[in-house]
Amino acid sequence: MQTQLTDQERVALAKLEYQLLVPGQPIKVGRYPLGQVLAHIYEPDGFQLFVIGSATQPRELVLLFKGSSGLRKGNPTTWNDEWLATNLPLLQALLRHQRHIPSQLQTAARVLNGLVAQYPRAKFFVYGHSLGAINAQFALANCQHLGRIKHAWLYEGANLYPLLTTRERRRVQKYRARIDNYIDIFDPVTLGYTSPTALVGRLRYVASERCLLPISQHMWAGYRFNAAGQLQLRALDADFWRTTQREQELINTIATLQQWEPTWRPAAQWAAALRASLPAELSLAQLIEAWGATGWQSPLHWCQLPEWWRERKET
């Protein structure tokens, strides 16, 4: 059944992950009935997934990895689970080149392996958007029976590949042809795609149109389909490489600043304490300006400020 769906119908199916589907609810996309919702998995760390298929001896199962609820439609629980505990730490890890795998991603891998074991005769088809795509990337990279996953369609998620281990990368590379990873370069969420091969799956570069609102861009608004429901794609072009170059420069800059942290953080803490002890008529800015005139040129010299200040007071 999945092979008969058009690109447009697959996007419509992926969008169902944002609806409050309930077990027993029939699911139909276009003219194709897909069965019913067999389960809504909701873990304590906020991970959510919908299982869709036939209620009797399912041969094909659709797994919808739910994305973030958003800041406007969410609540304090989802804000904490999806943003504070998952999205923001992931962004920090990607920018700093540091492997950090939040709980939701680990849960996604455990749940996927559990479902594959629970339905030993079923073929699995995976869908995920945004955080759902990120969770799906990690789950696929850690699936113990990845051959049972017949295909995966991932939309508008950040590139998790830089955070994967060598073993995880080898696993997803082996089944690369079964995973389609759709990227709209106008979507600010799609961070980290700097190579057509260093990603989970095959890069599908969407020939999108720029939208006024970033959230609309993120929610497929820039996607364009022809009369047959086929998504308009394009070859990697100058816009793609220009965007990836800017992203790589940002990532490299953040990584460099991270290396300086042992230097600037103590200096910043000392500067705050120093300002509190200065006479009211002498500002910290004036102090730094005067000391700068002595010829400091490197961030390392910030650590020399205390000694320099003591010498000035003695003279």
Interior CA angle at 134 toward 140 and 32, to 5°?
75
The confidence score (pLDDT) of residue 257 equals 57
Taking the C-alpha atoms of residue 55 and residue 32, their distance in angstroms, rounded to an integer, is 16
Q: Is the pLDDT score of 282 beyond 50?
A: no
Secondary element (H or E) of residue 249: helix 238-277
Model confidence over 42-62: pLDDT tens digits? 999 999 999 999 998 899 999
Model confidence over 196-233: pLDDT tens digits? 899 999 999 999 999 988 899 999 999 999 999 999 99
Q: Is the pLDDT score of 315 beyond 90?
A: no
Q: Considering the domain delimited by 2-236, tell me its CATH architecture.
A: 3-Layer(aba) Sandwich (3.40)
Mean pLDDT for 267-292 is 53
Closest CA to 287 of 273, 266, 262: 273
Q: Phi and psi dihedrals of 197, rounded to 5?
A: -120, -25
Instruction: Specify whether the backbone of 62 is left (phi greater than 0), alpha (psi in -120 to 50) or beta.
Output: beta
Please report, rounded to a whole number, the percentage of residues in the chain having pLDDT higher than 70: 76
Q: Phi and psi dihedrals of 114, rounded to 5?
A: -65, -40
- Minimum mean pLDDT range among 98-102, 110-114, 132-136, 199-203: 98-102
pTM listed for this prediction: 0.79
Taking the C-alpha atoms of residue 222 and residue 240, their distance in angstroms, rounded to an integer, is 15
Mean pLDDT for 245-273 is 61
The confidence score (pLDDT) of residue 118 equals 96
Mean pLDDT for 93-113 is 92
Q: Phi and psi dihedrals of 53, rounded to 5?
A: 175, -170
How long is the chain?
Answer: 315
Interior CA angle at 312 toward 306 and 315, to 5°?
145
The confidence score (pLDDT) of residue 312 equals 61
- Non-local (6+) Cβ contacts of 136 within 8 A are 65, 108, 126, 127, 128, 152, 154, 157
From residue 250, alpha-carbon distances to 30, 51, 139, 246 in Å are: 42, 38, 27, 6
Mean pLDDT for 168-186 is 95
Model confidence over 90-100: pLDDT tens digits? 888 888 778 99
Mean pLDDT for 101-124 is 96
From residue 214, alpha-carbon distances to 7, 187, 190, 217 in Å are: 22, 7, 12, 5
Q: Is the pLDDT score of 311 beyond 50?
A: yes
Mean pLDDT for 240-255 is 73
Q: Is the pLDDT score of 289 beyond 80?
A: no
Q: Where in the chain is the domain with CATH 3.40.50?
A: 2-236
Closest CA to 50 of 121, 135, 117: 135
- Minimum mean pLDDT range among 212-216, 244-248, 269-273: 269-273
Per the prediction, the chain carries an average pLDDT of 84
Residue 99 C-alpha from the chain's centroid: 13
Question: What pairs with residue 187 in β-bridges?
Answer: none
Taking the C-alpha atoms of residue 130 and residue 255, their distance in angstroms, rounded to an integer, is 24
Mean pLDDT for 254-271 is 56
